[in-house]
Structure 1
Amino acid sequence: RVLSLVHHEPRLADKEGVHSAGGVPLEDVLSAVDSLCEQSSVEEGREAAPGVGVVGEGQGAHFVMQAIACSRRFAVAVACSGYVCPKMHQSECGELPSLPPLALRSTPTDLPLIDALGAINTPLFLIHGERDECCSSAHSKLVYHTLRRNDVPTQLALYADEAHTFSRAESLRDATERTL
């Protein structure tokens, strides 16, 4: 089973708080996943749900990484063109970032993703275009190197001729095949 997180207005999600996808709190998404897994198990006559994968692109990729930083519900995750540091992302988009002081945050759900990477244990496949002007591939490279250093199974696929949204058929095909 795969949960896909897509958000078309990334700046709106960050205004409500670091941990929302389109205004939906992370806890609500995780509760929905639990409910779907329980329902699936009952319908299929199993005691436990199989592993659930989560996939996100752009803002959805950021949300995927937040989810796997504070939850062990997912067996695998894929993040395409995601950002890990809101301040860096906003500055890349020409905006001035604003977040509450770090001292006010204490758990992975309260931390900016960049500070919660050490909590990730879920295998992660990162996909990023090297020509992404909205969210540089430095974000995915940072996640990749951090997780590898922490012995988390992680792969990084960089596409030299792609931007934030992939447009070349061969890149789309390759990324899709590698994701599946």
Structure 2
Amino acid sequence: LGVMGGSYGGYLTAWTIAHDHRFEAAIVERGYLDPPSFVGSSDIGWFFSEAYTGTDPARVEAQNPFAKIGQVRTPAFVIHSEEDLRCPIEQAQRYYTALKKQGVETEMLVFPGETHELSRSGSPWHRRQRFDHILRWWARYLPTNANPPAMAVR
């Protein structure tokens, strides 16, 4: 069983793998990973964090993936775009580094010249690379002997 999410889904993935250890692997893509630092560094940080995590420090801490990063055991693949202003890359870099330091199996892939919209409107080459790396990660942690069915040509 694997778990993957991008943007707010990246946040949910990071939070989930700190609290639930049933997953073989995870992919955290362009995640909202540290609500307190998001306020001053994201293009939507001035309103987004308060709307989603509130202003009460205890409530924010309880919802912050970084606050529980020491509990992560699930191998995690961190994917981010260099020019992401929505979810700043420094959050992904800090997340990846913290996982590495505590011995969690992790990799990081950064796409130069891409923004938060890589998966939808990034360059075709980078979108292809992204898919290839995602499939490689899942094949490593979620191996299967089944061959995928052939695609019909129309």
In structure 1, the residue matched to 2:77 is 125
Q: Which residue matches 1:53? A: 2
TM-score by length of 1: 0.64
Partner Cα distance (1:178, 1:81) in 2: 15
1:27-65 Cα shifts (integer Å, max 9, x gaps):
xxxxxxxxxxxxxxxxxxxxxxxxx01110100010001
Q: Deviations over 1:114-164 (max 9, x none)?
A: 111111010000110000011111111011000000000000001111100
Q: Distance in 1 between matches of 2:29 and 2:109?
A: 9
Within 1, Cα distance between the matches of 2:63 and 2:10? Answer: 17
Residue among 118, 123, 134 paired with 2:86? 134
Q: Does residue 95 of structure 1 match 2:46?
A: yes
Q: What's the secondary structure of 2:28's corresponding residue?
A: strand
Distance in 2 between residues matched to 1:127 and 1:82, nearest whole Å:
9
Query: Which structure is higher in RCO with an 8 Å CA cutoff and minimum separation 6?
Result: 2
The aligned amino acid for 2:56 is P
- Please give the alpha-carbon distance, in whole angstroms, between the structure 1 residues aligned to 2:60 and 2:36: 16
Shift of 1:101: 2.4
The two structures, once aligned, show a CA RMSD in angstroms of 1.8
Matched with 1:174 is 129
Structure-to-structure mapping, 1:20-169, within 5 angstroms? 52-91=1-40, 92=42, 93-95=44-46, 97=50, 98-102=54-58, 110-166=62-118, 167-169=122-124
Distance in 1 separating the partners of 2:105 and 2:112: 23
Unaligned runs of 5+ in 2: 136-154
Counting matched residue pairs gives 125
Q: Give, in angstroms, the shift of residue 82 of structure 1.
A: 0.4
Relative to its length, the structure with more helix (as a share) is 2
SS in 1 for 2:93: helix
Query: 5+ residue gaps in structure 1?
Result: 1-51
Q: Which residue of 2 aligns with 1:38?
A: none
Question: Letter of the aligned partner of 1:77 in structure 2?
Answer: A
Q: Is the 8 A contact 2:77 2:108 kept in 1?
A: yes
Query: How far off its partner does 1:79 sit?
Result: 1.1
TM-score between both structures, scaled by the size of structure 2 = 0.75
Tell me the distance in 1 between the aligned counterparts of 2:70 and 2:99. 7
- Where 1:95 maps in the other structure, the secondary structure is helix
Query: SS of 2:46's equivalent?
Result: coil
Q: Which amino acid aligns with 1:72?
A: H
Structure with higher strand content: 1
